[in-house]
Amino acid sequence: MTSEVRLHPNEATDGAVVPLRLTAHETCPACATRDDETRVLACTTCEGEGRIVRDQHTYKVRIPAGIKNGQKIRLRELGAPGKHGGAPADLYVTVHVTN
Ligand SMILES: [Zn+2]
């Protein structure tokens, strides 16, 4: 999972805190008691993914000083949860430096 932020060159040089809007997921409640693959495939709440969209969240992300155009920042476990109750993924944010 990746996302993107845009920075002014001055922010890239000095570092910045920028808002980052993400879609949050949660484990599908209809699948919470599943114990076989057949039920997962039959779930219409989450279309068999085992997770549903919960909300939109805006996080504040600290961009380190001196970051370059095209660099990626890793945010630990801010990605979507894995399918079928797996651990959350890390989220990668690509930084674009533009005027
Ligand atoms: Zn489900």
Q: What is the pLDDT of residues 3-20, one digit of tens each?
A: 899 999 999 999 999 998
CA 64 / ligand 1 centre spacing (Å): 39
Looking from the CA of 18 toward its CB, the CA atoms found within 13 Å total: 23
Q: How far apart are the CA of 21 and the centre of ligand 1, in A? A: 25
Residues belonging to the chain: 99
**73, burial (CB in 10 Å: exposed 0-12, middle 13-18, buried 19+):** middle
As a whole-number percent, the residues of the chain with pLDDT over 70 amount to: 82
Is the entire prediction scored with pTM above 0.75?
Answer: no
Residue 90 CA to ligand 1 center (angstroms) comes to 23
Question: What is the span of the domain harbouring residue 40?
Answer: 2-97
With beta carbons less than 8 A apart as the criterion, state whether 89 and 77 touch: yes
Residue 52 alpha carbon to ligand 1 centre in Å: 8
- Has residue 31 got a pLDDT over 60? yes
Which CATH number belongs to the domain containing residue 59 in this structure?
Answer: 2.60.260.20
Determine the distance separating the centroid of ligand 1 and the alpha carbon of 51, expressed in angstroms: 6
For residue 42, give the DSSP letter.
H
Q: State how many domains the chain has.
A: 1
